[in-house]
Structure 1
């Protein structure tokens, strides 16, 4: 059954909660939300079966977490704070975060902003080079399209650096109207990725002392392996692990087990 928590500005954030044990929040990447992402729902169910209280939520501006643009990274962190406070009320004082793709950059920003985090797990955070300017340019281009109400242009900008067949496949898919609907909610993804280039990463992440695992697929793109290496090099307590056979997608059973093993260990 869908539950709701109220964020700092009054926005209601919808989520599913399953299992009992240490709390884990799943942070979706670009365009992911519960009704549009059965793989994460399955993975949440499997992870709960490993002994965790797992929250799979609709990020602001997606699914049942209705919100009008502009949708910002700061608001997204407030939403995670509200979820964390709910989960830790009278229980543990910290949550584990799993961030998929750009959701991993949001998890990093939340942890750096002081969210009480016990452990962090990422799957293929698409970080550009440390200290580069690509992220800031990306944010401005995306914001221009969102402010103009150009949802097709928003998605085209967001997916410009992805393999071209991904965008063409998306446009031809039955999910394209849904992607257009949630397009304005992509700004926090871009903001969080730009933030990772805003200062030396060791400085940005100095205060994130939670044990961290950066997962990458065995068949992934080079940017993902270099990003994982950058995370490990720049964080106080981080390791990386390869998921056999995976590219930028994953098998729910395999990923749930990998996350559970790290959280338990």
Structure 2
């Protein structure tokens, strides 16, 4: 299978350096990581190998993570600009696949008119209520923990707050991924801000063909959320795939993405 090239960088509109790798050949496909994830801690490793047979796959560190730099103050629009720079680098057009809160960012990119022929999303965690006060309070609490340099507490607060099962959190705490998440804990606030900015109205404005995926093994909250998102979008296809909680195996996910993007 094609392997990623060495790390490269592209400069976003505000001067932020965005690090990325690419692999394979074919139409451009950009992968957008979830909260706390980046090239050094990503679920995309095996997926890239499978997709690179049909696409030129771009995997990047979202701002403030890994080898990418950061520019303050944070704004969702700046992350959209990062994707715009990557799309330009990829030739001016690219498919997007986003996982979890990365899927929310991909939605913002499409809503802002970036040249995205097709969009695929795996379980975007959207709050479908109009009252975002509880979500805003959660973001503020997380920001306070970061400001106090309490990164371990911030990661725990985020994971439990977004509904990650206790046994999953316990397993993560004993793994090397925990320290990797702590290193980028400040960016968890960014993902919370992306979530706060994502509404049903924004979903309704996204007209590009979109595949909305869910795992059959996820809880009712995630599966219900996925169905609500697909219903709110004017040009979407909803599919449930066999998997685990908030995840689908690469050998199941890759064919579904390939079939959709190549259709």
**TM-score, with structure 2 as normaliser:** 0.89
Task: Decide which of 21, 29, 53 is 2:26's aligned counterpart.
Answer: 21
Contact 2:207-2:234 at 8 Å conserved across structures: yes
Structure 2 residue 174 is matched with structure 1 residue 176: no
After superposition, what is the alpha-carbon deviation per residue over 1:39-58, rounded to whole angstroms, capped at 9, x for unaligned? 40221121121x21110111
> What secondary structure does 1:117 align onto?
coil
- Give the aligned partner of residue 116 of structure 2: 117
Structure 2 residue 13 is matched with structure 1 residue 11: no
Paired residues, what number? 255
Structure 2 residue 142 is matched with structure 1 residue 139: no
**Pair 35,252 (structure 1): closer, same or farther in 2 beyond 3 Å:** same
Aligned partners of 1:114, 1:154: CA distance in 2, in Å?
Answer: 34
Shift of residue 68, structure 1, vs aligned partner:
6.7
Aligned partners of 1:155, 1:69: CA distance in 2, in Å?
Answer: 21
Q: How does 1:110-259 map to 2 (within 5 A)?
A: 110-133=109-132, 134-161=134-161, 162-197=164-199, 201=200, 203-259=201-257
Aligned partners of 1:83, 1:237: CA distance in 2, in Å?
Answer: 25
Which has the higher mean CA deviation after the structures are superposed, 183-192 or 152-161? 152-161
> What secondary structure does 2:40 align onto?
helix
Shift of residue 144, structure 1, vs aligned partner:
2.4
Aligned partners of 1:139, 1:176: CA distance in 2, in Å?
Answer: 20
Q: Which runs of 5+ in 1 are unaligned?
A: none
Contact 2:37-2:181 at 8 Å conserved across structures: no
**TM-score, with structure 1 as normaliser:** 0.89
Structure 2 residue 59 is matched with structure 1 residue 56: yes
Shift of residue 121, structure 1, vs aligned partner:
0.5
Cα RMSD for the two superposed structures: 1.9
- Give the aligned partner of residue 97 of structure 1: 96
After superposition, what is the alpha-carbon deviation per residue over 1:8-31, rounded to whole angstroms, capped at 9, x for unaligned? 222211111112222111000022
Q: Which runs of 5+ in 2 are unaligned?
A: 1-5
Aligned partners of 2:219, 2:261: CA distance in 1, in Å?
Answer: 26
- Give the aligned partner of residue 3 of structure 2: none
